[in-house]
Structure 1
Amino acid sequence: MAGRPDRLGHLGHLLGAYGLLTLTVLLFIAFSLALPDTFPTLDNISAVLSNQSIPAALALGATIPIAAGRFDLSIGYGLGLAHVMTMRLIVTHGWPWPLACLVVVLGGAAVGGVNGVVVEYARIDSFIATLGTGSVMYAVTGWITDGARVVPGPHGLPAAFTDLYDSRFLGLPVPAFYVLALTAVLWLLLERLPLGRYLYVIGSNPRAAELVGIPSRRFVIHAFTVSGVVVGGAGVLLAAQQQIGNPSVGMDYLLPAFVGALLGSTAIRPGRANALGTLVAVTVLAVGLAGIGQLGARFWVTPLFNGGTLLVAVGVAGYAARRQLRRRRAEPSGVAP
């Protein structure tokens, strides 16, 4: 009998860690059976990978501050500003596209650093601070575009620039490989390097981080800066995808990004934000949205799906965090978790 609780606990851990991944497979099988002619095809898989690459990158960017217990609500506004700036530098000012992309990514890092400074040194809650800086970025976007779209000239954009999004590798859209590479980098950063361990300590127990001498302010600023780099890169990719500068497009990506990041904290490493979990969460969302879309769902089903999933994600993540805290409290007393 003594081994039964251990087996149940191990089974619960497996379900918690890999349940979302299992759900992804089951959803794919279910939609493939319901839509055998359209869903399990290479064209559909390629379209899903291509369409979800930018939301996936933005979700991974949002994961980094969440690991430190902070939230960056400016990522949607930052995405919009980054993609508009990319278009303006290339189309209006005639910059070479590699230089324009580099400047935009560095600008994203600077904006992320400013977010971190405002949160840590002005001591403003990250929700309020990043909502404020995001509104400022939205105002800047409207100012530099005067509310109008940035449209390329008759010769269009450089082919090498649009190939950042349109090209393929091994038969699949190249943006999918960007997302895989970004996931690998963030996994290494959060799981194997001191910065990631420090961020988790700061996010789970700020008082303990202070007692052991972790410079919380500096590492939180680093987290926002890295997130800004990811947002800047996603903005460049969005410009290559849309090939037109739309000053209001960024906010469409905010909710899916946070759904992916928060839902990802319930997978692989339940109870904390992690890159692999975010990737799994974005995948299950992509499969679900593609399936219900092909089944003929109305336009309002997508925000309903995202909003409902966000509520479930936050609830499950909170439950997992409380369960982990109870386990930690029980272990020193010898009580089985």
Structure 2
Amino acid sequence: MTAPTPPRPRRPGGHLVGAYGLLALTVLLVLVFSLALPRTFPTLDTLDSILSTQAIPAILALAATVPIVTGAFDLSLGYALGLAHVMVMELIVNEGWPWPLAALAVIAGGAAVGVLNGVIVEYGRIDSFIATLGTGSMLYAVTGWVTDGGRIVPGPEGLPPAFTDLYDSTFLGLPVPAFYVLALTAVLWLVLERLPLGRYLYVVGSNPRAADLLGIPTRRYTVHAFTASGLIVGIAGVLLAAQQQIGNPSVGLDYLLPAFAGALLGATAIRPGRPNALGTLVAVTVLAVGLTGIGQLGADFWTVPLFYGGTLLIAVGLAGYAARRRLSGGVHAARDAPPGPASPL
């Protein structure tokens, strides 16, 4: 009789490195840049700049995270962001809408775009890359039609102060956009990690066939994920309009690469191998610290896309490795588990 295979010893240190290595890298970068730039980097001005300028990339990265949980990708994020912030300016400046009504309409429109993406992907059976790239191109066309290729600039009276305060104000001495990011991260963490909806989304993303066998309506939950993503993009569009205070038809595309870099890199942190809100927040933080330090060192403008592109490639590789390692660990655990009682069948 063959002796049972002893279970493989777990290495808690390896798990800690995988889960919190990115967070440790953030601390290390802060220390390195503080030593290299003692007069400019470790200051409140730098902290305020990071919290303010990186809020919208962080929100968009969280928006990208939700469809990735289900195994889909939304490439229309940048185009939708551009249209959303342009529509806010159009409704307030040219149509005379009250800003709260304009903001709510744009956020609802963002959710509608998400529903459209989800329906095309799931019920049209089109790959999410192709489908969202197509809808994104159409959104970009609508943006050009609304603006006629130009910018929407407020009149001499400017925008309502209450609207611009959505981005320019402070709370507890810190820029208020940072609290938007924290609140959104907390909501997504609660939904994805503690509610049945989140567990269903993870099952859909990890094994759609198993989800079908369990009776989980995979199509419906994928549409839900795209809808949530579009809703978050609509919120980001409102904040972008409050920040820039003009309607620029081409600005949204600049946020697409940072969003996916943060979302995919975040899948290697906190819960390695699976996209998660806290990991995305950590990833955006390390990217923001790195970019700020590089900028203060006097790097040229082309280093920003180089940094994001290289980070995206590394993130995809690390996320794939973490997912394979997590799957391998589950297989080993199942193989090494003691046999249960024989089935009567």
> If the TM-score is normalised by the length of the shorter chain, which range does it land in?
over 0.9
Report the counterpart of residue 224 of structure 1 in structure 2: 226
The amino acid that maps onto 1:245 is: G
Q: Work out the CA distance in 1 between the residues paired with 2:327 and 2:15.
A: 15
Summarize the alignment of residues 271-282 of structure 1 with structure 2, pairs less than 5 Å apart.
Answer: 271-282=273-284
Deviation at 1:6, TM superposition (A): 3.6
* Superposition map of 1:66-105 within 5 A: 66-105=68-107
Q: Which residue in 2 is equivalent to 1:160?
A: 162
1:250 matched residue in structure 2: 252
Which residue number in structure 2 is paired with residue 208 of structure 1?
A: 210
Match of 1:181 in 2: 183
Q: Which string of whole-angstrom CA distances, capped at 9 and with x for unpartnered residues, describes residues 237-283 of structure 1?
A: 00000000000000000000000000000000000000000000000
Which residue does 1:123 correspond to in 2?
Answer: 125
Per-residue CA distance 1:177-204 (angstroms, 9 max, x = gap): 0000000000011101111101100100
Which of 14, 21, 24 does residue 23 from structure 2 map onto?
21
What runs of 5+ residues in structure 2 fail to find an aligned partner? 1-5, 339-345
Percent identity of equivalent pairs: 75
For the residues of structure 1 that align with 2:32 and 2:336, how far apart are their CA atoms?
45
SS in 2 for 1:63: helix
Q: Which of the pair has more CA radius of gyration?
A: 2
Structure 2 counterpart of 1:38, one-letter code = T
Report whether the alignment pairs 1:64 with 2:75: no
Are 1:309 and 2:311 an aligned pair? yes
Match of 2:51 among 49, 55, 58: 49
Equivalence for 2:263: 261
- Does residue 322 of structure 1 match 2:324? yes
Q: Which residue in 1 is equivalent to 2:193? A: 191
Over the aligned positions, Cα root-mean-square deviation in angstroms equals 1.2
Deviations 1:8-28 (A, max 9, x none): x21110000000000000000
Distance 2:325 2:18 in 1: 11
The whole-number CA distance in structure 1 between the counterparts of 2:189 and 2:168 is 26
Q: What letter matches 1:249 in structure 2? A: V
Cα offsets for 1:149-192 (capped at 9, x unmatched): 00000100000000000000011100000000000000011101
Cα offsets for 1:108-162 (capped at 9, x unmatched): 0000000000000000000000000000000000001110100000100000000
Which amino acid in 1 is paired with 2:286? V
Per-residue deviation, residues 305-329 of structure 1 (Å, max 9, x unmatched): 1000100000000011111111122
The AA in structure 1 aligned to 2:273 is G
- Shift, 1:335, TM fit: 7.3
Aligned letter for 1:295?
Answer: L
SS at match of 1:78: helix
How far has the Cα of 1:230 moved from its partner? Answer: 0.3
Alignment counterpart, residue 234 of structure 1, candidates 207, 229, 236: 236
Q: Determine the C-alpha separation between the residues in 1 that align with 2:335 and 2:56.
A: 47
Which residue of structure 1 aligns with residue 40 of structure 2?
38
Looking at structure 2, the residues matched to 41 and 16 of structure 1 have their Cα atoms a distance apart, in angstroms, of: 30
Return 5+ residue gaps in structure 1 as ranges: none
Whole-Å separation in 2 of the counterparts to 1:130 and 1:38: 41
Moved over 4 A (4+): none
TM-superposed CA distance for 1:332, in Å, is 2.0
Deviates more, 1:288-297 or 1:320-329: 320-329
After TM superposition, the score normalised by the length of structure 1 is 0.97
Q: How does the TM-score come out when normalised to structure 2?
A: 0.95
SS of residue in 1 equivalent to 2:130: helix
Which amino acid in structure 2 is aligned with residue 196 of structure 1?
G
**Which one-letter code corresponds to 2:334 in the other structure?**
P
Amino acid at match of 2:13: L
Alignment of 1:331 onto 2:333: yes
